[in-house]
Structure 1
Amino acid sequence: MNEIGKFLAENPTAAVIAAGEIGFWVLIAAGLAVRYLLRARRASMILLAMVPLIDVVVLAATVVDLAGGAKANFTHGLAAVYLGFSVVFGPSMVRWADVRFAHRFAHGPPPPPKRQGREKTQHEWREFGKCLLACGLAAVALLAAIFAIGNPEQTGPLWEWFPRLGTVTAIWFVTGPLWQELAGRAEVRS
């Protein structure tokens, strides 16, 4: 068995997360293909409405694993982070894919041009706000798991995710809105 197969066998939650991410994009692609290639709008809506069910499956698998006595590890925390980011960023990812699919396969309008200047800065601040919300949801999911299980030996690794969420937030801030603010000021000076 190769290293990836061994890792997934030892960490079933990681396999569920990987399958969830693949399923997320498969459902989006199928929903958009049915909408624009087969022109079946109602069937498309059903497929796209199923996308959030993937989050439920990932969450349920994680809860079942931990409730069954599994010691929390990196992948259980990753499931909480996946949930937070999927819930917050999922709808905008679907809209992003929809515009491009419609343009490519249904003669829809082209995607909007890249944002520049103040519009780009405002966009970066909105995305950073979504990052904060996603990290907040992940933190709530982590805390819910920690307190629901109630066994510090079993949940210790989940606490390690809080500094990681802080790191993600800090990196996002520096590479997103702060970087854009500084770049915007440099453009104004030149």
Structure 2
Amino acid sequence: MGGIGWLIVGAEIAFWVVILLGLFTRYILKKKRLGLFFLALTPVVDLVLLIATAVDLYNGATATTVHGIAAIYLGVSIAFGKSMIAWADRQFTYYFLKQGEKPRKKYGFEHARHEIKGSLQHLLAFLIGGAFIFGIHFFIGDPERTAELLNPLRIWAIVVGIDLLYSASYFLWPRRAKG
């Protein structure tokens, strides 16, 4: 795995570190503004990854699948970032602070709506990631060097399609509570 691959791993780790720092600072240290500052760093992590990927390609690197995965990571992070932070906030509040409502399973139409919302976020992530891939492809202006960027996008399109079909199936066959 090359430098960009390790940068993706580092970005994912940094994403969760700043979220945990934000939650810890907000709730344990009772410093809400500082906690918000850490939570606001999540897009900065994404921006660093985007710039590093574009600079690597601009400086002559030939695009690899890893460069495409960087765009996928960015799309997912942007589309799901706010909901991931909200999820982490609810989990942290309930399990560590013993406050708030216990996370519960959803059933029936509520579950189907939740699943399709997640699939639509996945579609949004695909569109954002695809925009990054095509943007980099045109920014570099050398189709031979950036052709590999499109391979992860093709596979991702299939995954998004399956995700949408799977989620839509819950409207036809809703999840039922056991018992």
Pick the TM interval, shorter chain. Answer: over 0.9
How far the C-alpha of 1:107 sits from its partner, in A, is 3.0
Q: Does 1:140 align with 2:131?
A: yes
Paired AA for residue 60 in structure 2: G
SS in structure 1 opposite 2:173?
helix
Distance in 2 between the 1:83 and 1:162 partners? 13
How far the C-alpha of 1:152 sits from its partner, in A, is 1.6
Distance in 2 between the 1:112 and 1:99 partners? 8
Distance in 2 between the 1:85 and 1:48 partners? 17
SS in structure 2 opposite 1:114?
coil
Paired AA for residue 60 in structure 1: I
Distance in 2 between the 1:148 and 1:167 partners? 26
Distance in 1 between the 2:24 and 2:150 partners? 41
Pick the aligned partner of 1:44 from 35, 40, 43.
35
CA contact (8 A) 2:68 2:153 kept: no
Pick the aligned partner of 1:34 from 25, 42, 51.
25
CA contact (8 A) 2:120 2:164 kept: no
Pick the aligned partner of 2:89 from 98, 121, 129.
98
Distance in 2 between the 1:96 and 1:159 partners? 32
Please name the residue that 1:80 is paired with. 71
How far the C-alpha of 1:172 sits from its partner, in A, is 1.0
Pick the aligned partner of 1:155 from 143, 146, 154.
146
CA contact (8 A) 1:37 1:105 kept: no
Please name the residue that 1:168 is paired with. 159
Distance in 1 between the 2:39 and 2:97 partners? 18
Q: Does 1:181 align with 2:171?
A: yes
CA contact (8 A) 2:94 2:100 kept: yes
What aligned pairs does 1:109-124 form with structure 2 within 5 A after superposition?
109-124=100-115
CA contact (8 A) 2:26 2:32 kept: yes
1:27-49 CA deviation, whole Å, 9 max, x = no partner?
A: 11111111111111111011101
Distance in 1 between the 2:95 and 2:151 partners? 43
How far the C-alpha of 1:128 sits from its partner, in A, is 1.1
Structure 1, unmatched stretches of 5+, are 1-6
CA contact (8 A) 1:62 1:79 kept: yes
SS in structure 1 opposite 2:74?
helix
Please name the residue that 1:4 is paired with. none
Please give the root-mean-square deviation of Cα atoms over the aligned residues, in Å. Answer: 1.4
The percent of aligned pairs where both chains have the same amino acid is: 36
Distance in 2 between the 1:111 and 1:60 partners? 40
With normalisation by structure 1, the TM-score equals 0.88
> Which stretch has the larger CA shift, 42-51 or 102-111?
102-111
Structure 2, unmatched stretches of 5+, are none
Pick the aligned partner of 1:24 from 5, 8, 15.
15
Pick the aligned partner of 1:15 from 6, 13, 22.
6
